[in-house]
Chain A
Amino acid sequence: MTEQGIKQRGMAPQGTDTAEAAKPVTAKPVTTKYVLAGFGGQGVLFVGKVLAQAGMMAKKQVTWIPAYGPEMRGGTANCSVIISDRKIGSPTVGKPSVCLTMNQAAYEKFLHTIVPGGVLYVNSSIVADLPGRDDIRIVKAPVNDLAHDLGSAKVANIVMLGIMQALTPSVSDKELEDALMQLAGKKPELAELNRQALKAGMEFANRL
């Protein structure tokens, strides 16, 4: 596992993805490009919506595009999200800087699309220990198990969102939680579960 301190040297990838990505992150506008992928039902589209909602609430530019059509059939799902400090040109994400793979098919499909210096989050509860890459950070987290410990396997996606927030945040913790509550906080018991899941993810990440 590559465990470089992405957070310490800034979250923006140092790769060759776009002009703005190649610039130092501290003074320049930041653009984060996500691909979030897994089985249908694992909630990857929802994770994308929470990120986009949070980005919007943080007054950033955002886009969210689902893979649709034949890609939806056969149970796989993925979406692309961009969160940026500046106007978003191309809304499609061919080369993500942050990628989430909730199952093995997604891992195999997207591993080699990530820009050098990017981060790949892997649901290690169900993705086997496969060959990775040395030029990206790969964060493995058994989110199915972590969610199960919270009492609901359904929130594995939110646990992973918490991990992503801890390591590669695009918005503040509060903005993310507010966005999550807007989208999934209408029922009190669900709100509490989601809040716990987010927290569990962040705590897991801080132990890494």
Chain B
Amino acid sequence: MAILMKGNEAIAEAAIQAGCRLFCGYPITPSTEIPEYMAKKMKKAGGTYLQAESEVAAIYMVYGAGAAGARVMSGTSSPGFSLMQEGLSYLFAAEIPCVIADVMRGGPGLGGLGPTQADYFQLTKGGGHGDYHPIVLAPATVQEMIDLTKEAFDLADIYRNPVILAVDGILGQMMEPVEFPGTYKAKILPAKTWAADGCEGRPKNNVISYYLSSEAGEADNLRWGKKMAQMQAAEQRFAELSLDDAEYAFVAFGTSSRITETAIDMLRSEGVKVGLFRPISLWPFPVEGLQKRVPQIKGWMSIELSAGQMVQDVRLAVNGRAPVGFYGRQGGMIPEPEEIVAAFKTQILQGGVQR
């Protein structure tokens, strides 16, 4: 039976259903319903909600628990996510699975509490030091948040890699009808024989992130590079809407993809053949899926709640074969579908943007 649930709560409930029994976090708007839900429900589930003294501490609590083999997560919003970047670099290097939800708000600085997607760069490009990427998943509905949260834990374990749920403030705060347990089927996972949880009956394990020689450092980095290539090959996710006959395409994720859907309805009613390419994995960016559409699309347009971040990945994928436009709002403002239609007409139909 469907129930109405906020996106933030849906993430938390899905995590508990996925077997997460430890949540470490620090409250920050607009993600506070995640720790609040965990505080209410974890105890009953036999788990622990642990309020850290900062997001810095929270990400290292996640690190310690993950290194000891636990299914663990944190949830935060943009400024808190910035504080977690150092830890994410360490989590990648120590190959510790974990799930982090970033319910994005305005920036830079303290910014505002309104919804944005302006963490795209720091989410997808490996915002900490060194060469790395977390897997980044971007749901567009509350139901999809449930399924992707569950899948995120499995992907984290399979690749021993941090997985981030990229959510804007609207999706975090919005209630929609959802059904549990959702459609995701849990995968069979390898045992965590590498975990540091006490060496009784086996050789001791170390979970560390340094190397003593530059040669060893390069070897580690090459190995991680192979792992990232595997993720890029196997984990590109996207959804398409009205693209089969389309001459033009929008690219948008999360809430902006929802607003764009309405803009597409408006343009279609005027006879413009336009569709939506919606990345679900922001990293790996779904290059292959997008490039399959390149031959038929005469103009692309990225719609984001930012100054234009994902548009760079769109341009790389389109690679000069068609014009790529951009429209976005910032600081917590949300575009109206009419604005998107107008920008599309100026930039794409009237040739305002060159390839």
Interface residues of A (CB under 8 A from B): 18-20, 49, 52-53, 56, 61-66, 68-70, 87-92, 94-95
Contact of B114 with A by CB under 8 A:
yes
Query: B258, A89: Cβ atoms under 8 Å?
Result: yes
How far apart sit A70 and B30, CA to CA, in the bound complex (Å)? Answer: 11
Query: Which parts of B309-355 form the interface with A (CB within 8 Å)?
Result: 332, 334, 336-337
**Count, A-B residue pairs, CB within 8 A:** 76
Q: How large is the interface on B (under 10, 10 to 19, 20 to 34, 35 or more residues)?
A: 20 to 34
Contacts A/B (CB < 8 Å), 16 sampled:
A18-B265, A18-B266, A52-B4, A53-B4, A56-B4, A63-B176, A65-B170, A68-B29, A68-B113, A70-B113, A87-B261, A90-B337, A91-B174, A91-B176, A92-B170, A92-B334
Question: Which residues from B are CB-within-8-Å of A62?
Answer: 4, 176-177
Question: Which residues from B are CB-within-8-Å of A61?
Answer: 177
How far apart sit A69 and B33, CA to CA, in the bound complex (Å)? Answer: 13
Contact of B117 with A by CB under 8 A:
no
Query: A68, B177: Cβ atoms under 8 Å?
Result: no
Query: A63, B173: Cβ atoms under 8 Å?
Result: no
Query: B265, A91: Cβ atoms under 8 Å?
Result: no
**Contacts beyond the supplied A49-B4, A52-B4: 11 A-B pairs with Cβ under 8 Å:** A18-B265, A18-B337, A65-B174, A68-B29, A68-B30, A68-B169, A69-B169, A70-B112, A88-B258, A89-B263, A90-B262
How far apart sit A91 and B262, CA to CA, in the bound complex (Å)? Answer: 10
Query: B336, A94: Cβ atoms under 8 Å?
Result: yes
For residue B205, give the distance in angstroms from its CB to the closest CB of chain A.
Answer: 43
Interface residues of B (CB under 8 A from A): 2, 4, 29-30, 105, 112-114, 169-170, 173-177, 255, 258-266, 269, 332, 334, 336-337
For residue A69, give the distance in angstroms from its CB to the closest CB of chain B.
Answer: 3
Query: B177, A92: Cβ atoms under 8 Å?
Result: no
Checking A49, A63, A66, A89 against B262 with a beta-carbon cut-off of 8 angstroms, the contacting residue is A89
Checking B173, B259, B269 against A66 with a beta-carbon cut-off of 8 angstroms, the contacting residue is B173
Query: A94, B334: Cβ atoms under 8 Å?
Result: yes
How far apart sit A91 and B144, CA to CA, in the bound complex (Å)? Answer: 15
How far apart sit A203 and B30, CA to CA, in the bound complex (Å)? Answer: 40
How far apart sit A94 and B259, CA to CA, in the bound complex (Å)? Answer: 11
How far apart sit A63 and B60, CA to CA, in the bound complex (Å)? Answer: 36
Residue of A nearest to B262 (CB): A89
How far apart sit A95 and B262, CA to CA, in the bound complex (Å)? Answer: 14
Given contacts A64-B4, A94-B336, contact A56 B262 (CB under 8 A): no
